[in-house]
Amino acid sequence: MRIPNSADFMVEDNAVLTPEEERSIVSELTTESEDNLKPGNLYFVISKRWYTSWERYVEQPSEAPRPGPIENNEIIESADDTSSDPQLRRLLVEGEDYVLVPQQVWERLVEWYSGGPPIPRKLICQGFYSRSYSVEVYPLCLMLTDGRDKSITTIRLGKQASIRELYEKVCAMKGVSQEKAHIWDYFGKSKGKLLDPSSNKSLEESSLNMDQYILLEVDGSSSSQTALSSAGNELALVPLEPSRSLVTIAGGPTLSNGHSHATTSKFSLFPKISSDDNGCDSLSILGKEERGGLAGLSNLGNTCFMNSALQCLAHTPPIVEYFLQDYNNDLNKDNPLGMRGELAIEFGELLKKLWSSGRNAVAPRSFKTKLARFAPQFSGYNQHDSQELLAFLLDGLHEDLNKVKRKPYIELKDSDNRPDDEVAEERWNYHKARNDSVIVNVCQGQYKSTLVCPVCGKISITFDPFMYLSLPLPSTLTRQMTVTVFYCDGSRLPMPYTVTVPKHGSCRDLITALGTACCLAADESLLLAEVYDHKIFRYFENPVESLNLIKDEDRIVAYRFNKMQKGTGKAKLEILHGGQERAVLESVRGRDIKRFGTPFVTYVNTEQLSGSDIDAVISGFLSPLHKVQASSKIQNGREKGHLPNSAVDKTSGIISDRDTEIAEASDRELTFRIFLTDERGLDLKPLLSDSSVNPGIVTRVLVEWNEGEHEKYDSSYLSNLPEVYKTSFSAKKTRQEAISLFSCLESFLAEEPLGPDDMWFCPGCKEHRQANKKLDLWKLPDVLVFHLKRFTYSRYLKNKIDTFVNFPINDLDLSKYVKNKNGQSYLYELYAVSNHYGGLGGGHYTAYAKLIGDNKWYHFDDSHVSSVNESEIKSSAAYVLFYRRVGSGTETQSGEMSTGMD
């Protein structure tokens, strides 16, 4: 494909748009597109790298160059792809590798910049109850096997395309009439069901998955005759699947041969071996050497997150026992919050396959199809979060199995200083009156929430149910920040300090921590600023401003002042540094001055300044940077970045030499070449010793460094400004910084103020207040699930924490954390773990699960299952932990369930 160049496009009337005009047009077109969403709208994929360069250009045109042609080759599989539909590389992440823009925006960008290649994708509408729009970035890719010559051809269609459209495309591609064509589901290269050429059922609803095989057979070909020779009916074409059970799933027919079979009410976990259908004694248990529960789950394309969560639930004894029996009477098909019972039926069918197939891997295609229908966020083939899937699945199963067909309206009473036991029991009974299912009975507990108004002292106590506990890792409550302190009296070298602050703290927290680290005196203060492109990008002067605004890759400085320097009637003076190297961008108004280093910031009187005054200020700042050979006085007296005590006026904290320099400034030429400049650094006006400057709110000057300055001063102290946080350093420490599950639980239960976005309406004050919140455990379920919050998200930051959490495998005693002392056992043991390896936006999920009767652990890595030692269960990959109460009746051996469930 030829990529168009800028000569192929002409802007109307040869007009060149300004960056502000481009930004405005794109913004308006994007808003217009968002207001007119409909299936079939085209969006285009653009490289995030190129789009970011365009954003910088239109937002800060003085600092960023105009980008070249659109360059998408880095995100497609092959830069040599000359087709009209180049394919994206797999596993790309939106917002990190690419962005999506509406068709109108793409057309404008190509008009302005040319380039490509174009990568169009369609907007689709998904969901059963709540409809949502999304762009299908990765259309379904099917491998078509031609039964006539065994050739394989790639077919690409949207997952919402119909089976009829699939026939049309295949027949057109192969030159075959639709009357003679038969297309089979050929998953795993095993012939499954025949696809109906007249069906409007979508490919996704037909359980066709990414990269799976389909088989084309043509009437009259040798392959078709061979397939039909053994029998004249469809049954002969469909092989018996050994992994399918011949029992009836709750509420639906058996799916062994693609047909329904009459069954008795007798249930067995294992398939029939004999041809008899008496429903009882003709059942086998897979042979004496094989056990149920050791089947893997095939990866259908980035579905390891789903497989991991499913294996943990598939080894939860009370859940397995329930779904391997007849639960038809519990299905709530009319619950508006449920999925018409379909999710529960599909989940039960999957569990039966897992517990009846020995070690044969099961492909959860039908379950994934049903999941995508009711939870479109899990559709497609991107990686997702196993805990998010688990949360949806448990809630969905509960609603599908809720025995309460009509939920009564119950008006909750206030606690009114009643005993906690009474209020908690009342709230639990209210909850059970509206929610009664095996999920509630097994997995739900109750915690006590206490809110205290910081103004009037009003206390509000509520008791709420929980399905799992999401525990913060203590390291996620704080963050380390490195900030370089500049001494504005010129007394010391710039010094970086690394401090620990609350993760969601304020600038006041950072200033307090820095003040302690650098021994800030009572009459001193710090001014925080972000340095970007060797200029001051912004100041953090509001002490309550959130630290979430500061990213790990930012470079932050703190300028240290005393009260004499920073007082009323003062204005900021910013001193930028420039060299004589040629600028990367265009020459600035005829001068080839390139900025470098970290700016100085100080306060000056708002009275008129002369060039000599500014020159003296610069000299004072640079005095600690004198090289050893340049000043014998500093050479003899400086120690560890400090000037000799005699050189400092102890009453003011300012170098006495600087006073001399200021006094002598008017009697000599300027020491430096200084230019008055503007906010953008574009206008450069030379300053002489007698030049007059009227300080504004911020006055900016640029000092030009020539060879002489570089020889006299060590500019490396200005250039080596560290980032706020270097992630590479922390990665080496995570194994040593082990924390316990108990410390995570204590952090979860600790009292803390609500965030500013989560204010509580105090019934006493009749105002929203930032109340203090305290959680306590009150009732624990038989199956207790802990979610370790390894993934952290903020407006600017996404991160995964690989800290090793030490959790008990046996004898997890939670007695001291439970406030309800009713004599019940709170001793738990681990039976399953969902693991996540790797980083954000990808990685890999696996599961550990214990066959309790065998007292053996197994590793479930998609379709691969292997035994594992108990000592290997603990790792920094542990993400979701599943515990069962000891002595609760959950100790039933699931592998033996088939013998006692008549």
**How far is it, in rounded angstroms, from Cα 884 to Cα 888?**
8
Annotation marks residue 304 as catalytic? yes
**How far is it, in rounded angstroms, from Cα 372 to Cα 484?**
50
Beta strand pairing call for 783-789 and 469-472: parallel
361 three-state secondary structure: coil
Structure tokens at 726: 């270097």
Q: Which residues contact 227 (CB under 8 A, 6 or more apart)?
A: 147, 217, 237
CB atoms within 10 A of CB 650: 8
Q: In this structure, what are the phi and psi dihedrals at residue 354, rounded to the nearest 5 degrees?
A: -65, -35
Beta strand pairing call for 556-562 and 478-487: parallel
**Catalytic entry in 171, 182, 304, 488:** 304
CA-closest candidate to residue 466, choices 783, 684, 730, 8: 783
Instruction: Name the region of 324 (left: φ>0; alpha: ψ -120 to 50; beta: rest).
Output: alpha
Chain mean position to CA 515 = 34
**How far is it, in rounded angstroms, from Cα 514 to Cα 368?**
52
Strand partners, 556: 530
677 three-state secondary structure: strand
**How far is it, in rounded angstroms, from Cα 479 to Cα 363?**
43
> What is the CA angle 576-582-588, rounded to 5?
60
Structure tokens at 566: 């920073």
Sign of torsion over alpha carbons 812, 815, 820, 825: positive
Q: Where are the beta strands (DSSP E) in 684-744?
A: 684-687, 692-693, 698-704, 739-740
521 three-state secondary structure: coil
**How far is it, in rounded angstroms, from Cα 341 to Cα 330?**
9
Annotation marks residue 844 as catalytic? yes
**How far is it, in rounded angstroms, from Cα 481 to Cα 485?**
12
Helix (H) / strand (E) containing 861: strand 856-861
**Catalytic entry in 504, 626, 642, 844:** 844
Q: In this structure, what are the phi and psi dihedrals at residue 778, rounded to the nearest 5 degrees?
A: -120, -50
- How far apart, in Å, are the Cα atoms of 45 and each of 118, 408, 834? 7, 49, 34
- The amino acid at residue 335 is N
CB distance 365 to 193 below 8 Å: no
Task: Let me know how long the chain is.
Answer: 902
CB distance 747 to 474 below 8 Å: yes
3-state secondary structure 279-313: CCCCECCCCCCCCCCCCCECCCCCCHHHHHHHHHH
Structure tokens at 610: 């002369």
- How far apart, in Å, are the Cα atoms of 240 and each of 193, 256, 259? 11, 7, 11
CB atoms within 10 A of CB 451: 17
Helix (H) / strand (E) containing 189: none
Question: What is the DSSP code string of 179-215?
Answer: TTEEEEE-GGG---PBPPTT---BTTTTT--TT-EEE
CA-closest candidate to residue 170, choices 138, 142, 129, 149: 142
**How far is it, in rounded angstroms, from Cα 833 to Cα 311?**
9
Structure tokens at 887: 């002595």
CB distance 244 to 255 below 8 Å: yes
> What is the CA angle 347-331-353, rounded to 5?
25
Question: How many helices and strands in the chain, by DSSP H and E?
Answer: 20, 42
Which residues does the annotation mark as catalytic?
Answer: 304, 844
